[in-house]
Structure 1
Amino acid sequence: MTLAPDLLDLADALVPGEGRGLLGIVGLPGSGKSTFAEELLTALAQRHGEDHVGHVPMDGFHLADAQLERLGLTDRKGAPETFDAEGYAALLTRLREDTTDTVYAPGFERTLEQPLAAALAVLPSVRLVVTEGNYLLDPDERWRAARARLNAVWSVEVDEEQRHTQLVARHVEFGKTQEQAQAWVERVDEANARRIRKRSEAPDRVVRCAPDGTWQLA
């Protein structure tokens, strides 16, 4: 996949004269948020240098399985209520305000399917942080708090059949059988997708994956 050049220019425009810009990437489960974010980060690093950009996905704020069990939410993993939205918003605030210290953030270990404390580091030199997640445009107050800290939110879209295929393949890659992956997608991921479609507010930009694999402005 490749990026249309104007996407890099738009990302650069989010960097303030002083301080740090934050770009959110949102989309349905399996839409390619992480793939797009990683390609954007790679291209920006090539343009400006590795220390210019940082990556802090929302996945690090998944509640650990121990908490999901306590709350009775084990079979809802990935739903809005299974994230620490307030903690995520607090981290975004620090990323905006603290450009003197290295800011550590939790990551997410896909094989274990668990958050990992302080797995990511945003250096003081970073001028743009890219973050992605399903609920950045959800109107619920706990998600609005995170949205308010972002300079812009871009929504990524792909063909529905491709999205479903990618989603099942991702679950299989990280340990589920084909049957388990298909069942999880139908029962959990698609329920979350319906919520996102119904409730999400308008993004600042829409980016689509063209048939040739190029990410382009809609």
Structure 2
Amino acid sequence: MTPSSTLTDRAVSLLSGPARVVLGITGAPGAGKTTLTATLLSALGERLGEDAVAHLPMDGFHLADVQLDRLGRRDRKGAPDTFDVDGYVAALRRLNDEPDRTLYVPGFERNLEQPIAAAIAIPPAARLVITEGNYLLLPTAGWERVRPLLAEVWFVEVDDDVRRERLVSRHEQFGKTPDAARDWVDHTDEPNARLVSATSSTADLVVTL
């Protein structure tokens, strides 16, 4: 997909001063957050220069499976309490408080379904950073500390049937059987989706794909 010039213009308009700006992209699992983020980063890179934009994905702050096993939460992987929210908030604060230092943040390897430490470097030249994930607008459990650190949050939505089929296909692609993929969507992804969808009214912009 190609982001409309309106979305690109709106993101650029956030850079009204010299300070670094962090834009949040949120939405339910499978809504298209990552796709929108990638194409928006590309368009912004062409507009502002590649070094001026960067990406900080919330997914890198998944707890590793060894920790989920210890906590008894592996069967709920992807729920709000299966992330290192403190680490994510600390990274966002450093983006704002230490703009002259390179920030190393974890990425998430889909093939392994595990976070990878320091996989992403955000250099001082990055004036506009996009962070995307499910729980940027969640008002509880420590996530409420995220929103004040973001200039704007855009909520991505798509038809629920399309979103669910995307999730099933994704789980199959990374090793689940069709039945296991649908079971995971029904019992893990969908409760999370309902939780996230309830936050859409607090977004600065709703983007319908």
Q: What's the TM-score bracket when you normalise by the shorter of the two chains?
A: over 0.9
> Residue type of the partner of 2:75?
D
Query: How far off its partner does 1:98 sit?
Result: 1.5
Q: Secondary structure at 1:2's aligned position in 2?
A: coil
Q: Are 1:6 and 2:6 an aligned pair?
A: yes
> Residue type of the partner of 2:98?
D
> Residue type of the partner of 2:184?
W
Query: How far off its partner does 1:198 sit?
Result: 3.5
Q: Secondary structure at 1:100's aligned position in 2?
A: coil
Kindly tell me: are residues 127 and 36 of structure 1, through their superposed partners in 2, closer, same or farther at Cα, counting changes over 3 Å?
A: same
Tell me the equivalent position of 2:127.
127
Q: Are 1:36 and 2:36 an aligned pair?
A: yes
The alignment yields a C-alpha RMSD, in angstroms, of 1.2
Tell me the equivalent position of 2:110.
110
Distance 1:38 1:128 in 2: 14
Deviations 1:167-189 (A, max 9, x none): 11111122212221111101100
Whether the aligned pair in 2 keeps the contact of 1:65 and 1:74 (CA below 8 Å) is yes
> Residue type of the partner of 2:23?
L
Distance 1:51 1:21 in 2: 14
Tell me the equivalent position of 2:183.
183
Distance 1:205 1:115 in 2: 29
Query: How far off its partner does 1:45 sit?
Result: 0.5
- TM-score using structure 2 length: 0.96
Whether the aligned pair in 2 keeps the contact of 1:139 and 1:201 (CA below 8 Å) is no
Whether the aligned pair in 2 keeps the contact of 1:139 and 1:200 (CA below 8 Å) is no
Distance 1:96 1:176 in 2: 39
> Residue type of the partner of 2:5?
P
Distance 1:191 1:185 in 2: 9
Whether the aligned pair in 2 keeps the contact of 1:89 and 1:146 (CA below 8 Å) is yes
Distance 1:80 1:105 in 2: 19
Tell me the equivalent position of 2:155.
155
- TM-score using structure 1 length: 0.92
Distance 1:29 1:66 in 2: 23
Tell me the equivalent position of 1:67.
67
> Residue type of the partner of 1:9?
D
> Residue type of the partner of 2:48?
H
Q: Are 1:142 and 2:142 an aligned pair?
A: yes
Distance 2:204 2:94 in 1: 23
Distance 2:189 2:153 in 1: 21
Distance 1:105 1:97 in 2: 15
Tell me the equivalent position of 1:208.
208
Distance 2:205 2:40 in 1: 14
Distance 2:200 2:64 in 1: 25
Query: How far off its partner does 1:4 sit?
Result: 1.3
Distance 1:74 1:56 in 2: 24
Identity of aligned residues (%): 54
Tell me the equivalent position of 1:213.
none
Distance 1:177 1:70 in 2: 26
Deviations 1:32-60 (A, max 9, x none): 00000001001101111110100011001
Query: How far off its partner does 1:103 sit?
Result: 0.7
